């Protein structure tokens, strides 16, 4: 699953067109206990198209649903889009004020420590693909 996720996100990074908003991903089969709320009244009804096409569409700034994190099951199907994800930093977690990373990066890093989260991932125009597990980066790649 990690390789397929990484490959898909690298393609997203290299194939995205302007205006690219970046994207946040949660991999989880059970979001019932997660600090998450839907930003919009949305239902995912397009699992008939491939994941990359869906993510390219969702990462376009002109798409109403580009905001928030998108939830994928462990078989990499989108189950929820545009989720406000607000994990509480673990005790002792220190935000690096000198970091070049923004809120999405830290939310993904912190969120990857929660139970029921397999991985979190972000893709951004400035930093490429970052995948987290248990608060640690497991993959960072730029497709340059």
pLDDT in tens, 42-85: 666 556 678 888 888 877 777 766 778 999 999 999 999 889 99
Tell me how far apart the alpha carbons of residues 77 and 15 are, in angstroms, rounded to a whole number: 20
pLDDT at 130: 92
3-state SS, residue 51: helix
87 confidence band (pLDDT: 50, 70, 90): very high
Name all domains of the chain by residue range, CATH numbers in brackets. 2-141 (3.40.1700.10)
User: Do residues 134 and 122 touch, judged by C-beta distance below 8 A?
Assistant: no
pLDDT at 132: 95
Name the pTM for this structure.
0.86
User: Do residues 68 and 104 touch, judged by C-beta distance below 8 A?
Assistant: no
Tell me how far apart the alpha carbons of residues 97 and 82 are, in angstroms, rounded to a whole number: 27
Q: Is the pLDDT of residue 121 over 60?
A: yes
Task: Check the CA dihedral 52-135-82-21 and report its sign.
Answer: negative
Q: How many CA atoms lie within 13 A of 38 on its CB side?
A: 9
User: Quick one: how far is CA 35 from the chain centroid?
Assistant: 15
Count of beta carbons in the 10 Å neighbourhood of residue 82: 19
Q: Is the pLDDT of residue 142 over 70?
A: no
């Amino acid at each position: 699953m990690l390789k397929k996720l990484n490959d898909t996100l690298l393609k997203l990074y290299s194939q995205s067109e302007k205006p690219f908003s970046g994207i946040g991903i949660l991999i989880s089969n059970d979001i019932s206990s997660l600090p998450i709320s839907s930003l919009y009244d949305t239902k995912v009804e397009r699992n008939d198209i491939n994941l990359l096409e869906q993510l390219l569409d969702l990462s376009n700034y002109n798409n109403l649903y580009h905001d928030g994190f998108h939830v994928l099951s462990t078989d990499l199907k989108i189950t929820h889009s545009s989720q406000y994800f607000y994990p509480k930093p673990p005790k002792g977690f220190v935000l690096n004020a000198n970091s070049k990373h923004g809120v999405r990066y830290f939310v993904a890093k912190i969120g990857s420590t929660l139970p029921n989260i397999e991985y979190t991932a972000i893709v951004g125009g400035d930093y490429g693909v970052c995948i987290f597990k248990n608060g640690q980066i497991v993959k960072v790649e730029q497709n340059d």
